[in-house]
Copies of this chain bind each other. A is one copy, B any other.
Amino acid sequence: MEGVYLTPLKIIENPKGDILHALKSSSPFYSEFGEAYFSSINYDDIKGWKLHTKMILNLIVPVGEIEFVIYDDRSVSETKGDFFKVVLSRSNYYRLTIMPGLWLCFKGIGKSENILLNIASIEHEPEESKNMDLKYINLP
């Protein structure tokens, strides 16, 4: 889906505790640093749908396992009406970059804690995002 990019990330093993890469300023699809924050999601709970009109998201899952579903409702998109699904965790360790204009929801898959880091291109601004109740788009 145009505007959705998965970039493999390295995990450097260390007997005292691993190093997990997240994002470099030279990484593909990096644009700008606005804000970094964590969002945790309980097992079986879903946060979404949310659409950002300006923010580029860079999502990394260092703890647990989270399923992301992206829905394309962009009027000029060749993939309008399509869904993109991916489950991220340390065993499928990728950075998920999402350009503005796409609907996103995510679900906690791991039975203990599930945490994502979002390194966003702009700071949080309540007016730049839209929310829609989960019931308005049927999950695939």
Binding site for B on A (CB under 8 A): 16-26, 32-42, 45-47, 62-63, 108, 113-115, 117, 119, 123-124
Contact status B35-A17, CB under 8 Å: no
Copies in the complex: 2
Q: Chain A's interface: helix, strand, loop or mixed, by majority?
A: strand
Bound-complex Cα distance A62 to B22 (A): 15
Contact of A34 among B25, B32, B46 (CB under 8 A): B25
Contact of A41 among B17, B22, B124 (CB under 8 A): B17
Contact status B113-A36, CB under 8 Å: no
Contact status B25-A38, CB under 8 Å: no
Chain B residue contacts of A46, Cβ below 8 A? 16
Write the nearest CB–CB distance from A15 to chain B, whole angstroms. Answer: 8
Contact status B63-A25, CB under 8 Å: no
Contact status A40-B20, CB under 8 Å: yes
Listed from nearest, the 3 A-B pairs whose CB atoms lie closest are A33-B33, A17-B40, A20-B38
Contact status A108-B17, CB under 8 Å: yes
